[in-house]
Chains A and B, each alone.
Chain A
Amino acid sequence: MDFAKISRRHLLRGSAALTLGSVLGVRSAAAADTTIGFIYVGSRDDYGYNQAHAQGAAALKKMRGLKVVEEEKVPETDAVEKTIESMVNLDGASLLFPTSFGYYNPHVIKMANKFPKLRFEHCGGLWSDKDPKNAGSYFGYIDEAQYVSGIVAGYSTKSGKLGFVAAKPIPQVLRNINAFTLGARLANPKATTQVIFTGDWSMPVKEAEATNSLIDQGVDVLTCHVDGPKTMVENAARRGAMVCGYHVNQSPLAPKAYLTGAEWNWEALYPKFVKMIASGEAIPNFYRGGLKEEIVKCSPYGEAVSAQARKHADDIKAKLMAGDYTIFKGPIMDNKGKTVITAGTDRGQKDPELEKMDYLVEGVIGATS
């Protein structure tokens, strides 16, 4: 009897909602000033790429008048178009953050053309003049933070052998490997970085194998560029190696082994974007920045980091924050002995040549193909 009563009441409510569905939908959308949709390619608690964005979304949830809706594990197919439309049609979202690189072309462009009054902010894409004006792409020069990690790693290694678990030999990843190695060689000119490419963004088994194999070869400090650094961090810590994190702060996973890390600072950027929109200020369609612009940041130092390492790293960090330091400063040789940046050439953070990087610098053990 009791059960019947409850279910009847709920059914009534359900059917009422059913008939009034669209009306309610509109009303609830109007109640909050702005609804913001976040779309992640993986799990939002991956201790990595997606969690970094989810932390940014969480920062928006704390702001007044905002409603944040999130959807995780959306593949880079037309599923993301449908998710965007669903957020627009059913949730009334007016600002969307499709956060995975592969969403941009053709999916985000298509949706931005379809909904010209809504704003799309995509992470990582290369917005060009041909793309819709209501779409924008933002990204950070996280190699600056990797450079600082490299300095700390260079001081912390005993064997002089560093390890890098990487996804694919694409420019963004190569730039991180190279910056990390250049930083490490600033601290220890004999340091080498052995790199292993797993072939894809989320390959936990291969990442664990790569971590073990690097440690077996004498590597004692590791970092990575994959979507979820958790596997590498936990395995390396278990094997007694030290780690530099990536994407978010992984120190809770390995409090003793964690030295520092290169993190995204979406918690700072997303509220900034929302405030810019609220004040009527246009967000540049192509938005980039590094440590100075607070788009990336470094994790706090772990207890294993020496005073000397802290001092050197802090020094470089301060220069990067001031904007008067160049990481890719010639002469730089690749690991095959060819000069890739000639003496006297400074390739600053915004240099488009760096976006096409296809080499590994001297000191990196590994090949791009």
Chain B
Amino acid sequence: MTTEAADPVEAVAVSPAAGPGFLQRYGTTIEYILIPGAALVGALAVFGIFVALFGKNPLDLYFYMYQGAFGTWFSWQNTLTRAAPLILTALCTALPAQLGMVIIGGEGALLIGALSATSIALAIPWAPPLVVQITMVCAGVVGGGLWITLAGALRQYRGVNETISSLLLVYIGLAILNHLVEGVMRDPSSLNKPSTREIGAANMIGSIPGTDVHWGLVFGVVAAFASYVLIYHTVFGFAARVAGGNIRAAKIVGLGVGKLILTICFLAGGAAGLAGMIEVAAVQGRTNANLAAGYGFTGILVAFLARQNPLAIIPVAILLGGISASGGLLQRRLGLPDASVLVLQGIIFVFVLASDALYGRIAFLKGKS
């Protein structure tokens, strides 16, 4: 995935051909909507053929997918609930991607964030809920942030490949979590499901009023917008993208590349750590092995499908949330195995990656007839 030219506004601004024509002005933006859309339609068509091979009617499939993901108010809430953690874990991959780094360890940062947030909450049982919640947010962000900063520091100071190190840190994070949850932090009454003590109902952050969707969605959307502004509308973000484009050039013009790497890694890990904190404070109420549910890994998929654009992450996370929400209905109505959802995700991934080659090559959208 390339990170340059991810900004339609800028691309248009620097284009010498920018003229009064509609296509010339908005061609690139249209391209960014049209190509992934077409890739999605293509993937759904191929999945339809796949399902037809199993003797199921593809149109039933599309109908149930629509119904399960977006067909009713309940389905929407189901989709949004599943999308909430994915926005944050996707940022863990998308932010470092601006620097040309491939971080795939969001799951580890999520677990460490959850563990930090739980520890803090259990350490200050006397504090009022709002204080506990704010402290938990900070602890989650710092815990997850430091975790990915480790991978960034290993890359900056020791030349260790950040993709490998961040992935391995997932397993270390999980081992630490299990060790603590089954050891010193274990609630003695959690006999057959080793867990920490509960943070207490009063400290839970609850749902967005009028819905079943927890506040994690709002955190995610805000974080995605903040990331977008940071990357595309600040000097810091510009420096990061320059370094991502050509690290030697960035060094020559005097950018502090090391500082950029560590800061971006901290923010990325912080996003995933926040997702972990929310899983504790909005869903589980405590830390145990249930937290390792794969949100960190699905987040990688979301980030790549969104072409590492923080804003595009929001609709893509909702799309993947919808696919997983509708997966249940596909199992129940069509008798498809759970793995069929993974097959669909895989097909979409391949189509979107393959469609990368099309950018800038559709003559029509360049305004040249």
User: Which of A13-21, A56-64, A141-149, A156-164 interfaces with chain B?
Assistant: A13-21
Task: Flag whether B67 is at the interface (Cβ < 8 A).
Answer: yes
Give chain B interface residues in 182-197, CB to chain A under 8 Å: 182-183, 191-194
Nearest chain B CB to A7's CB is how many angstroms away? 7
Give the number of residues in A that approach B within 8 Å (Cβ atoms): 44
Nearest chain A CB to B130's CB is how many angstroms away? 22
- Residue of A102, A124, A171 touching B290 (CB-CB under 8 A): A102
Most B CB atoms within 10 A — which of A22, A91, A105, A124?
A105
Most A CB atoms within 10 A — which of B66, B193, B290, B291?
B193
Most A CB atoms within 10 A — which of B60, B192, B194, B291?
B192
Q: How far is the CA of A86 from the CA of B212 in the complex (A)?
A: 13
- Residue of B59, B192, B325 touching A171 (CB-CB under 8 A): B192
Q: How far is the CA of A8 from the CA of B31 in the complex (A)?
A: 30
| Binary CB contact string for chain A from 78 to 93 against chain B (1 if under 8 A, 0 otherwise) | 1100110111011100
Q: Is the CB of B82 within 8 A of A79?
A: yes
- Residue of A11, A73, A86, A124 touching B192 (CB-CB under 8 A): A124
Q: Is the CB of A70 within 8 A of B332?
A: yes
A68: nearest residue on chain B (CB-CB)?
Answer: B332
Give chain B interface residues in 259-302, CB to chain A under 8 Å: 279, 283-285, 288-291, 293-294
Q: How far is the CA of A149 from the CA of B64 in the complex (A)?
A: 46
Q: Is the CB of A71 within 8 A of B191?
A: no
Task: Flag whether A314 is at the interface (Cβ < 8 A).
Answer: no
Residues of B in contact with A, size category: 35 or more
- Residue of B78, B290, B291 touching A86 (CB-CB under 8 A): B78
Give chain A interface residues in 137-181, CB to chain B under 8 Å: 168, 170-172
Q: Is the CB of B59 within 8 A of A7?
A: yes
A76: nearest residue on chain B (CB-CB)?
Answer: B290
Interface of B is mostly: helix
- Residue of B59, B72, B192, B289 touching A10 (CB-CB under 8 A): B59
Task: Flag whether A43 is at the interface (Cβ < 8 A).
Answer: yes
Task: Flag whether A255 is at the interface (Cβ < 8 A).
Answer: no
Nearest chain A CB to B283's CB is how many angstroms away? 5
Given that A72-B337, A73-B338 are contacting pairs, would A90 and B59 also be in contact in the complex, using a CB cutoff of 8 Å? no
- A residues near B325, Cβ cutoff 8 Å: 82, 86
Q: Is the CB of B290 within 8 A of A101?
A: no
Task: Flag whether B122 is at the interface (Cβ < 8 A).
Answer: no
Q: Is the CB of B293 within 8 A of A79?
A: yes
Task: Flag whether A33 is at the interface (Cβ < 8 A).
Answer: no
Task: Flag whether B140 is at the interface (Cβ < 8 A).
Answer: no
- B residues near A77, Cβ cutoff 8 Å: 279, 283-284, 290-291, 293
A356: nearest residue on chain B (CB-CB)?
Answer: B191
Task: Flag whether A315 is at the interface (Cβ < 8 A).
Answer: no
Given that A17-B63, A72-B331 are contacting pairs, would A90 and B82 also be in contact in the complex, using a CB cutoff of 8 Å? no
Q: Is the CB of A91 within 8 A of B332?
A: yes
Nearest chain B CB to A57's CB is how many angstroms away? 12
Q: How far is the CA of A91 from the CA of B64 in the complex (A)?
A: 12
Q: Is the CB of B331 within 8 A of A70?
A: yes
Q: Is the CB of A87 within 8 A of B332?
A: yes
| Binary CB contact string for chain A from 197 to 211 against chain B (1 if under 8 A, 0 otherwise) | 001100000000000
Q: How far is the CA of A304 from the CA of B120 in the complex (A)?
A: 57
Task: Flag whether B57 is at the interface (Cβ < 8 A).
Answer: yes
- A residues near B293, Cβ cutoff 8 Å: 75-77, 79
Nearest chain B CB to A259's CB is how many angstroms away? 27
- Residue of B71, B192, B294 touching A172 (CB-CB under 8 A): B192
- A residues near B96, Cβ cutoff 8 Å: none
Q: How far is the CA of A76 from the CA of B193 in the complex (A)?
A: 11
The 4 closest A-B pairs by CB, nearest first: A73-B338, A10-B59, A76-B290, A69-B332
Q: A86-B328, A90-B68 are in contact. List 6 more A-B contacts (CB 8 A).
A: A14-B63, A73-B338, A78-B214, A82-B78, A87-B328, A90-B72
Sample (24) of A-B pairs whose CB atoms are under 8 Å apart: A14-B59, A14-B62, A18-B67, A21-B67, A21-B72, A43-B338, A71-B338, A75-B294, A77-B283, A77-B291, A82-B328, A85-B74, A86-B75, A86-B78, A86-B325, A90-B68, A90-B329, A101-B192, A168-B182, A168-B194, A170-B194, A199-B178, A200-B289, A369-B182
